[in-house]
Amino acid sequence: MESELFRTGFENRKAVLGAAHVEKSWNNADAFNKPIQELVTEYCWGAIWGRAGLPHATRSMLNIAMLAVMGKQHELKAHVQGARRNGVTVEEIQEILMQVAIYGGVPAALEAFRTASEALKDFKE
């Protein structure tokens, strides 16, 4: 039985990452990785993204910076596109990655710029 937090998380996840992306991830989950999909949906997208303290655009900007510094390019691409869905401008994404260069390192920022460029080219609203 799905919790209210899970339902909220699933809706937030679809709103930010796109319904097709989320439904594909969910439908491709198997017995091994279904538990992590459930955890991420309920806690990341329900408990955290469901909080009223920050707008989704701000959460997207924070995620871009953190993922860029950690070098998590696959997730970064999804969150750059999600940021655009949340109203974050291309210029704001560029500024976030410039900030990453100074506080997280130029190599991380260069790689993040490459990933963000690809994400922006592939972005469909």
Tell me, what's the pLDDT at 124? 82
Q: What is the pLDDT of residue 119?
A: 97
Domain region containing 39: 4-48
Q: Enter the pTM of the model.
A: 0.91
Query: HEC string of 45-92?
Result: HHHHCCCCCCCHHHHHHHHHHHHHHHCCHHHHHHHHHHHHHCCCCHHH
- The predicted-structure confidence for 84-122, as pLDDT tens digits, reads as follows 999 999 999 999 999 999 999 999 999 999 999 999 999
pLDDT tens-digit series, residues 31-86:
999 999 999 999 999 999 999 999 999 999 999 999 999 999 999 999 999 999 99
Same domain, 63 and 111: yes
pLDDT at 1 over 80: no
CATH code, domain with 101: 1.20.1290.10
* Structure tokens belonging to residue 27: 């439908």
Indicate whether 62 and 30 sit together in one domain.
no
Q: Under a CB-based contact definition with an 8 Å cutoff, are residues 68 and 87 in contact?
A: no
| Number of domains into which the chain is organized | 2
Q: Are 109 and 100 in contact (CB under 8 A)?
A: yes
